[in-house]
């Protein structure tokens, strides 16, 4: 197996994929904040995850893996020195000057780039039939950051695993709550897709040793031919994550989904139907029952809701993007319009305070 050098922008969610890649023997560099860099380089990136048939959580530390995982800032990196780049920051973060400059270099380098953001990078939409990317620009914090990224070298991976940083732990620790798979669409080019499939196979084959026993860890990387597969996350985000945001506060994902299950089902199915109308295969979408069952374990508000409650002036606007794509096809959802209006009002309030 060829070992690859992979650059990951973002160390919170990115450390989950980074640790899985390092377990498979690849070399990973995480781009993150100074405090994160210091801890990850000194103590490793630590990921704790539930494993079927085992009590408690299995802890994986990048220091004890076959591959090497390091952390750095965005400055002075040459994307051409890497085989693949992964975008794992929240969409508004790409506007920070140093990150923007690095993204610009990534775009110009033509290195195959995979996004694991909830919000698909703007150029990815150009690969999706039935979506006019030029009409979606206003859904992005600063759409111009994407201008030098070529859709031909970009793919999207649905970040289905749910993970969070335990507030009582140091920032190099990530805990997986829902250990599902990363689902990536193929690249436009066969050669780039072949590399991505080889990386996915290496993650599949990797085993982790616990007390002398080699075990299989969850959270695999799956590569699909359809550009629509990663959009399966849209229905989950709209029925759960964004409905954590209420006019006067926030609530856990579990309550957002199960508070009014029929309302959630109708909204979920609206988004699935929208994706199918664009050309997605219904079999590639996650059935509502399966999602609702998984949501039972999601006892805290979504990251978008927590960010708004903490005063964030910008968050990822998948709600606005889904509204925009629906409008391009003459489809409307009162529930989505209401969500967009509530999030808009929070952002106005937060920006005034800021």
- How does DSSP assign 189-226, residue by residue? SHHHHHHHHHHHHHHHH--EEETTEEE--S--EEEES-
pLDDT at 354: 84
Mean pLDDT of the chain: 97
pLDDT at 220: 97
Q: What pLDDT, in 10s, does the model give residues 165-197?
A: 999 999 999 999 989 999 999 999 999 999 999
Q: What angle do CA 91, 14, 35 make, to 5 degrees?
A: 90
What is the widest separation between alpha-carbon atoms in the chain?
Answer: 59
> What is the rounded CA–CA span in Å between residue 219 and residue 184?
13
Grouping H, G, I as helix, E, B as strand and the rest as coil, residue 286 is coil
- Percentage above 70 pLDDT, the chain: 100
Q: What pLDDT, in 10s, does the model give residues 12-60?
A: 899 999 999 999 999 999 999 999 999 999 999 999 999 999 999 999 9
Please report the sign of the dihedral spanned by the C-alpha atoms of residue 58, residue 64, residue 68, residue 73: positive
CB 293 within 8 A of CB 235: no
CATH 1.10.1040 fits 231-353, yes or no: yes
- Alpha helices by DSSP H, listed for the chain, are 14-23, 34-43, 97-109, 122-125, 190-205, 232-239, 253-258, 261-278, 288-295, 303-309, 318-328, 334-353
Grouping H, G, I as helix, E, B as strand and the rest as coil, residue 173 is strand
Residues facing residue 50 across a β-bridge: 57
pLDDT at 5: 98
CB 304 within 8 A of CB 242: yes
- Inform me whether the pLDDT recorded for 1 exceeds 80: no
Decide: residue 225, CB within 10 A, 0-12 exposed, 13-18 middle, 19+ buried.
exposed
| Contacts made by residues 202-208, CB under 8 angstroms, sequence distance 24+ | 202/1, 202/24, 202/25, 202/26, 203/20, 203/21, 203/23, 203/24, 205/1, 205/24, 206/20, 206/23, 206/24, 206/25, 208/23, 208/58, 208/60
Other beta carbons within 10 Å of 306: 16
Q: What pLDDT, in 10s, does the model give residues 218-239?
A: 999 999 999 999 999 999 999 9
- Inform me whether the pLDDT recorded for 331 exceeds 80: yes
> What is the rounded CA–CA span in Å between residue 176 and residue 160?
11
> What is the rounded CA–CA span in Å between residue 163 and residue 26?
22
> What is the rounded CA–CA span in Å between residue 239 and residue 270?
10
pLDDT at 109: 98
**Weakest-pLDDT range from 125-129, 156-160, 337-341:** 156-160
Q: Where are the domains of the chain?
A: 5-224, 231-353
> Which token pair is 236?
């989950």
Domain boundaries 5-224, corresponding CATH code: 3.40.50.720
Q: What is the DSSP string of 149-169?
A: --GGGEEEEEE-SEEE--TTS
CB 200 within 8 A of CB 258: no
The set of residues, in sequence order, having a beta carbon less than 8 Å from that of 72 and lying 6+ positions away, is 29, 30, 31, 32, 37
Average pLDDT of the segment spanning 256-268: 98
Average pLDDT of the segment spanning 94-102: 98
């Amino acid at each position: 197996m060829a070992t690859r050098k992979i650059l990951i922008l973002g160390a919170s969610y990115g450390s989950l994929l980074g640790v899985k890649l390092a377990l498979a023997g690849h070399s990973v560099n995480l781009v993150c904040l100074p405090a994160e860099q210091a801890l990850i380089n000194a103590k490793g990136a630590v990921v704790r995850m539930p494993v079927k048939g085992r009590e408690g959580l299995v802890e994986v530390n990048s220091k004890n893996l076959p591959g090497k995982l390091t952390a750095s800032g965005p400055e002075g990196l040459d994307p051409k020195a890497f085989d693949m780049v992964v975008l794992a920051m929240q969409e508004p973060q790409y506007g920070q000057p140093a990150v923007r400059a690095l993204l610009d270099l990534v775009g110009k380098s033509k290195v195959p780039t995979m996004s694991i953001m909830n919000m698909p990078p703007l150029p990815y939409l150009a690969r999706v039939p039935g979506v006019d990317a030029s009409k979606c620009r206003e859904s992005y914090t600063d759409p111009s950051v994407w201008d030098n990224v070529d859709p031909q070298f970009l793919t999207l991976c649905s970040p289905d695993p749910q993970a969070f940083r335990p507030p009582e732990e140091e920032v190099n620790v990530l805990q997986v709550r829902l250990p599902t798979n990363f689902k990536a669409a193929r690249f436009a080019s066969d050669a780039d897709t072949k590399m991505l499939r080889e990386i996915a196979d290496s993650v599949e084959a990797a085993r982790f040793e616990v007390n002398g026993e080699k075990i299989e860890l969850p959270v695999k990387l799956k590569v699909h031919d359809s550009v629509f597969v990663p959009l399966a996350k849209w229905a989950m985000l709209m029925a759960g994550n964004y409905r954590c945001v209420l006019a006067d506060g926030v609530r856990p994902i579990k309550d957002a989904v199960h508070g009014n299950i029929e309302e959630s089902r109708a909204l979920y199915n609206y988004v699935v139907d929208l994706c199918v109308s664009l050309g997605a295969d219904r079999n590639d979408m996650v059935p509502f029952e399966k999602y609702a069952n998984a949501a039972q374990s999601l006892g805290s508000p979504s990251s978008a809701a927590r960010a708004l409650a903490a005063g964030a002036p910008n968050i990822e606007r998948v709600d606005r993007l889904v509204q925009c794509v629906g409008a391009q096809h003459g489809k409307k959802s009162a529930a989505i319009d209401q969500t967009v209006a509530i999030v808009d009002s929070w952002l106005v309030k937060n920006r005034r305070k800021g």
